[in-house]
Amino acid sequence: MKRLSTILILAAVVLVRPTTTAVAQVAGSTTLGVAVAEAREVALGWSARRTILGHTVYNDQNEKVGNIDDIIIAPTNHVSYLIIGAGGFVGLGRQDVAIPVSQIQLQNGKIVLPGASKDAVKSLPPFEYASK
C-alpha cells in the first residue's frame, strides 16, 4: 500500500510539475524538449500508463472487479482517486466509478480493492467528468 501510494504521489508530481520551458528563438538558438541528461532521467523514470493505467483491479479473493482507466489529481496536486471501469462486456454496459486511492492496496504485485465485488463496484454512483 505504501509503495502504491508513493507511486501515485510521484505520478501526481510528474503530471502537475511544470515541464521544461520552451524559450523563444534568440540569436539563432531555441531550447525545446529535454537535454540529453534529462532524457536519460525520463527513460529511467516511472510511467503511470505502464504501471497503473489499464491494469486490472482485483478483490481479496483474486477476482477481477474492474480496470484502472484514469487517475484523478485533486486541485491540491495530490492523487486522490482512481477511475475504475466496472462491469459490462466489450465496453457495453460498463460504467466508470471513482475509488479513493486510500482504499487501494498493492498485494503480491496486484492492485487490490479489499472487500469489493464486481456487483458492488458497479453499484457505486457512476463517475462523470465535469464539462468545461
pLDDT digits over 36-49, tens only?
666 666 666 667 77
Mean pLDDT of the chain: 76
Predicted TM-score of the model (pTM): 0.65
Per-residue pLDDT averaged across 116-124, rounded? 89
- DSSP notation for 44-73: HS--HHHHTTT-EEE-TTS-EEEEEEEEEE
What does the CA dihedral 44, 15, 57, 126 come to, rounded to 10 degrees?
Answer: -170
The pLDDT value recorded for residue 65 is 93
Residue 24: the pLDDT is: 46
**In 3D, which of 116, 73, 81 has the Cα closest to residue 102?**
81
Q: Which residues pair with 36 in a beta bridge?
A: none
Please check whether residue 71 is in contact with residue 78, taking contact to mean a CB–CB distance below 8 angstroms: no
Question: What gap in Å lies between CA 80 and CA 38, rounded to an integer?
Answer: 28
pLDDT of residue 34 exceeding 50, the answer is yes
pLDDT tens per residue across span 56-86: 999 999 999 999 999 988 888 788 899 999 8
- Identify the structural domains of the chain with CATH numbers, from first to last: 2-122 (2.30.30.240)
